[in-house]
A and B are shown apart, each in its own frame.
Chain A
Amino acid sequence: GDSVTQMEGPVTLSEEAFLTINCTYTATGYPSLFWYVQYPGEGLQLLLKATKADDKGSNKGFEATYRKETTSFHLEKGSVQVSDSAVYFCALSDRSNTGKLIFGQGTTLQVKP
């Protein structure tokens, strides 16, 4: 079945460092891909999405490109801030009528001043 694999956390970075969180997927067909962020004590918020190959999603300085050839959707940010500390989830939508999302296991990011 469809699945999403994220890099293991926690990831600890200093402020202004470059961030990459790897995400790869297995799916039949052409799923839509998402990155969600969860701040402490809150629900998930959509960070960015891409619906077809070579699409680049971007928001708040974060970017991810839908790479069909490598089945990847890696999250990047050029300069992280302490306020980016959160748990990041990669997810895919199977495009069926259920609208179900399949989530990766989440990657905790801690940014130190």
Chain B
Amino acid sequence: EADIYQTPRYLVIGTGKKITLECSQTMGHDKMYWYQQDPGMELHLIHYSYGVNSTEKGDLSSESTVSRIRTEHFPLTLESARPSHTSQYLCASSALTGESEQFFGPGTRLTVL
């Protein structure tokens, strides 16, 4: 069973606040990913990482930033939340080989008022 965790599961916050969404995995995976899922359920890759000190922007432009200081931890930060950031955020990880499946966390549902 996959061991990837996200906190908080739900967050309601006011405009202008700084927030950090946490993602941790205990599988020792080198690759980690952040997806944004819109109300129509479509998934958009916004950030990914090959390993420690590696971060890349995904296919969808995002005002969020990420860091990868430890293998198991891949937090996502919004410096100043806006209503347009309201969405579901999913974190995933995979092993280093190219064909490995991705394991997903349960997601964080963010609402910015």
Q: Which residues of A contact B (CB under 8 A)?
A: 32, 34, 36, 38, 41-46, 49, 51, 87, 89, 93, 95-101, 103, 105-106, 108
Sorting the interface of chain B by its residue count into under 10, 10 to 19, 20 to 34 or 35 or more gives 20 to 34
A95 in complex: contacting residue of B33, B50, B99, CB < 8 Å: B99
The distance from the CB of B77 to the nearest CB of chain A, in whole angstroms, is 20
A42 in complex: contacting residue of B33, B92, B101, B107, CB < 8 Å: B107
Q: Could you tell me if A99 and B41 are in contact, using CB atoms closer than 8 angstroms?
A: no
Judged by a CB distance under 8 angstroms, whether B48 is at the interface is yes
Distance between Cα atoms of A101 and B100 in the complex (Å): 10
Distance between Cα atoms of A31 and B18 in the complex (Å): 39
Q: Which residues of B contact A (CB under 8 A)?
A: 4, 6, 31, 33, 40-43, 45, 48, 50, 56, 90, 92, 94, 96-107
A-B contact count (CB 8 A): 60
In this complex, what residue of B is CB-closest to A101?
Answer: B102
B99 in complex: contacting residue of A44, A51, A87, A108, CB < 8 Å: A51
Given A42-B107, A93-B99, A99-B94, also A108-B31 (CB < 8 A): no
